[in-house]
Amino acid sequence: MKENHVRSLPGIPFLLGVLVAVLLAGWLFVNGARADGNGPASLSMVVGGIVLALLAFFSLIGLYTVQPNQSAVLSLFGKYVGTVKDNGLRWNNPFFSKRKISLRVRNFESGKLKVNELDGSPIEIAAVIVWRVVDSAEAVFNVDDYESFVHIQSEAALRAMATSYPYDQHDEDQISLRSHPNEISDRLKHHLDERLTEAGVDVIEARISHLAYAPEIAQAMLQRQQANAVIAARTRIVAGAVGMVEMALEELQKNGVVDLDEERKAAMVSNLLVVLCGDRSTQPIVNAGTLY
């Protein structure tokens, strides 16, 4: 069901009209009661005053207010009539039922969900969802409780998205929950739009607010991350050390400082790699004699 905009009368002029009608009804009632005799004219004035007063007071039921960024969904005996978005005091048919819907931007943070990511490891994940109602009729008539619908479907979309990606990136082109926050937010927003469009809800933003391994494997995953960091650091150190050794040998040979045979070159390479790649500072041994 799509939203249909309807017109409404301004409430202030109508309220002034009701006041005039009440004063007229009082005048008719008082003058009819004071009229000499009990003729039909005086009786009709009394009855007319009473009827006019009742109609005036009954018409007040049609008054309602619409706040900024709010809409009123009107229905007549269960049939949708239309939606009013004009701000201020408004008036429509007193028989119309009116339900106010907030069009303001709202947000909430989902609870921490425990799910298994793509590799099967249990993780904890939560998200912040920013949303608003863009179709009041769909929000009222397509779902039973649109606010509860948004909360439940958001958690379902977050759970489905989390199971589709790994926690950590294993390949350079792979999208993971931890390394690609912007891409993950876009995917989550896409999932939410598919689920919430039917309820007349537009998702403005969806971002991961909490992401961590589950407590039972957090220590093991931390050790694995530390091991990966150590391996990466060692790989870079060794690559740099090999380059420095190559440069040292080339400079010694080019400048003719010393002529080393293959065995001495191997010893020099071994010593330089120990110095450059060792965790602790080395203690040099000074050879005061001949090179050989």
* pLDDT by 10-residue block (mean), the chain, 292 residues: 85 89 84 64 77 89 92 92 91 92 93 86 90 93 91 92 84 81 90 91 92 73 67 74 76 69 70 66 58 53
Give the 3-state secondary structure of residue 188.
helix
Helix (H, G, I), strand (E, B) or coil at 167: coil
| Same domain (yes/no): 126, 81 | no
Identify whether 286 is part of a domain: no
On whether residue 1 sits in a domain, the answer given is no
**Shared-domain flag, residues 198 and 115:** yes
- pLDDT of 99: 92
Cα(122)–Cα(115) distance, rounded to whole angstroms? 6
CB 192 within 8 A of CB 132: no
Instruction: Please indicate, yes or no, if residue 3 is contained in any of the structural domains.
Output: no
In a domain, 174, yes or no: yes
Axis-axis angle for helices 40-59, 11-34 (nearest 10): 160
Domain shared by 182 and 224, yes or no = no
Q: What is the pLDDT of residue 157?
A: 92
Q: How far apart are CA 96 and CA 74, in angstroms?
A: 6
**Counting Cβ atoms within 10 Å, is residue 92 exposed (0-12), middle (13-18) or buried (19+)?**
buried
Confirm whether 209 is domain-assigned: yes
Tokens encoding 57: 């007071």
The count of structural domains within the chain is: 3
Q: Which residues pair with 82 in a beta bridge?
A: 74
Cβ-based neighbours of 113, under 8 Å, separated by 6 or more? 124, 125, 126, 155, 158, 159, 162
Q: What is the pLDDT of residue 234?
A: 72
Closest C-alpha among 262, 230, 232 to residue 249: 262
Q: Are residues 222 and 207 in the same domain?
A: no
pTM over 0.85: no
Residues 226 and 193 occupy one common structural domain: no
Domain boundary among 213, 233, 249: 213
Q: What is the pLDDT of residue 52?
A: 86
Last residue of a domain, one of 102, 135, 155: 102
- Distances, alpha carbon 60 to alpha carbons 88, 93, 264, in Å: 15, 10, 107
Q: CATH code at 144?
A: 3.30.479.30
Q: Residue 261 belongs to what domain range?
A: 218-277
Domain identity same for 146 and 93 = no
How many Å apart are CA 282 and CA 130, to the nearest integer? 58
Do 133 and 203 have their domain in common? yes
118 in the same domain as 45: no
Among 57, 81, 102, residue at a domain's last position: 102
50 and 128 inside one domain: no
In a domain, 284, yes or no: no
In a shared domain, residues 202 and 225? no
